[in-house]
Amino acid sequence: MMNIIYIKNDLSDAAADALIQSGEIAVDTELTGLDVKSDRLCLVQLRGAGSDDFYLVQIRAGAEYPNLGRVLTAPGVPKIFHYARMDMGMIYKRLGFFVAPVFCTKIAVLLARPKKGHALHNVLHEVLGVDLDPEMKAETLSDWTANLTKKQQLYAATDVLYLHDLKRVLSDMLRDTNRLELAEKCFEFLPARCMLDLDWGERDIFAYNPK
């Protein structure tokens, strides 16, 4: 059973401690849009491994979140994202720190299955045999800056419901294809990739261009 805990301020000390002690945390965010430079962070969703508690932390203008920061930077506690590049960039932009250590299921699934897609609903169906409610998808475009409806809360919590299982299966797939070490190096590079997103233009500095 999902116990959704909607918080309009920082995590409590007890909640932060419980998440860290779980040993592994699934994380997602809701944003005003997908432009890392102009859009903003609205919500951070967290679930500790083996827990039925789903924390939805609404990010408000001018507020500080030291316990959330303590959780997201806890050493030795992997934080699992799907498309960590966007989430990490937006968290850094608003809260001023990079999440670490990180496991990105989007990167993992592309390395494990190079010719397949990476949209989360498709990955969950193909890798875990899980089908999400298609009607819930419309909530991604709803207003995440206002008080959240029950439907928004359920949608947000569901985004972190399966990430622990997905990480476990993808880790095995990466080991089988001898790409786990490569994936880990990609995860370590994510802060630099986020800084390029925030402080650079569209030109790919890794591409060859003789001009």
> DSSP string spanning the chain?
--EEEEESSPPPHHHHHHHHHTS-EEEEEEES-S-TTT--EEEEEEEETT--EEEEEE--TT---HHHHHHHT-TT--EEESSHHHHHHHHHHHHS----SEEEHHHHHHHHSTTS---HHHHIIIII-----GGGGGGGGS-SSSPPPHHHHHHHHHTTTSHHHHHHHHHHHHHHTT-HHHHHHHHHHHHHHHHHHHHS-S--TTS----
Q: What's the pLDDT at 211?
A: 65
pLDDT < 50: residue spans in the chain: none
Q: What's the pLDDT at 184?
A: 98
pTM of the model: 0.94
Q: What's the pLDDT at 174?
A: 97
Structure tokens given for 47:
């679930």
Q: What is the mean pLDDT of the chain?
A: 93
CATH number assigned to the domain covering 3-199: 3.30.420.10
